[in-house]
Amino acid sequence: MNAALPLGVRAAAAFHAYRAGERERLDELVRLLTPLLWHTARAQRASKELAEDAIQTAWLRFVDSADTIVEERAVVSWLVVTVKRETWRLLRLSGRESAPESGVPEVADEATPEQQAILTQRQRLLWHHVADLPERCRTLLRVIAFAPVPDYAGVAASLGMPIGSIGPTRGRCLAKLRAALVADPHWEV
């Protein structure tokens, strides 16, 4: 499928094919959505291990409940909401509301050592400043940053924001981030 299409469109097409009997399309759906789900769980301040558990449980529930999802374009929102709820449940069970967050996104286990090494000092500084942003900005920027083509309808639904506010909110968040970076003497333009 065309990688230039929004994530929600590609996910809906893979989901449609999966429900139509093309079981191998589940692999495509997992490949497309796991990075978004990873950052959704981590945005809830889950540890790496807890995020992995929440995502795995969400995928298992998805397979069990795929026939109950009426609107195919809702698959992204369904999975994001399921990951959030599972993350919250696991956080409660573990006896803590949230795990400490460094601000630097963790690379999923599937990443090669070369990919993990790419996280330079400059990137660490950037993510340090992202971690200092308000929660809404952090969550929005993390979700949008890791989607090749952001699906604003899916982002709006998963974050509980009106679709018309995504762009302006993103702009304000990026302006705050830009101001913080410009003010940091360690940041090189």
The 10s digit of each residue's pLDDT in 3-27 is 777 888 889 999 999 999 999 999 9
Say how many domains are in the chain: 1
Tell me whether residue 148 is in a domain: yes
Tell me the whole-structure pTM to 2 decimals. 0.62
Tell me whether residue 1 is in a domain: no
Domain coverage including residue 162: 7-183
Q: Give the closest residue to 36 by CA, choosing from 132, 126, 137, 151.
A: 151
Question: 145 or 186: which carries more pLDDT confidence?
Answer: 186
Q: Give the closest residue to 15 by CA, choosing from 1, 4, 3.
A: 1
Tell me whether residue 106 is in a domain: yes
Tell me whether residue 170 is in a domain: yes
Tell me whether residue 123 is in a domain: yes
Tell me whether residue 2 is in a domain: no
pLDDT digits (tens, 9 = 90+) for 73-122: 889 889 988 999 999 899 988 876 544 444 455 444 444 555 555 556 77
Tell me whether residue 188 is in a domain: no
- The 10 Å Cβ neighbour count of residue 69 is 16
